[in-house]
Amino acid sequence: MTSEDIRSELERSPFIPFRIHLVSGKTMDVRITTNAWILQNSVLLLDPPIDRDEEGGYNLLSLRNIERLELLGRAH
């Protein structure tokens, strides 16, 4: 997977949420464009906080470990 593949989904207008499938079998959803940041060889996914009193987390995904992208539904 390349950074351009992911960038094109993030810049799609209107945006359509998508799921990232990793080679390990794990999946990660991107529902908001501002929660995903493309870095040099990876993608940083921010996890929004579940509760106002908590901090969100993040996942750093290596591009070489991303198997495919799956569109989740209609534009929001």
Over residues 44-67, mean pLDDT: 85
- For the stretch 21-54, pLDDT in tens is 999 999 999 999 999 999 999 999 998 766 666 7
Give the model's pLDDT for residue 76.
46
Give the model's pLDDT for residue 26.
96
> What is the pLDDT confidence band of residue 74, given thresholds at 50, 70 and 90?
low
Give the model's pLDDT for residue 70.
95
- Non-local (6+) Cβ contacts of 41 within 8 A are 62, 63, 64
> Can you tell me the distance from the alpha carbon of 61 to that of 28, in angstroms, rounded to the nearest whole number?
10
Cβ-contact 6, 43 below 8 angstroms: yes
> Can you tell me the distance from the alpha carbon of 72 to that of 30, in angstroms, rounded to the nearest whole number?
9
What tokens appear for 33 in the block? 């464009």
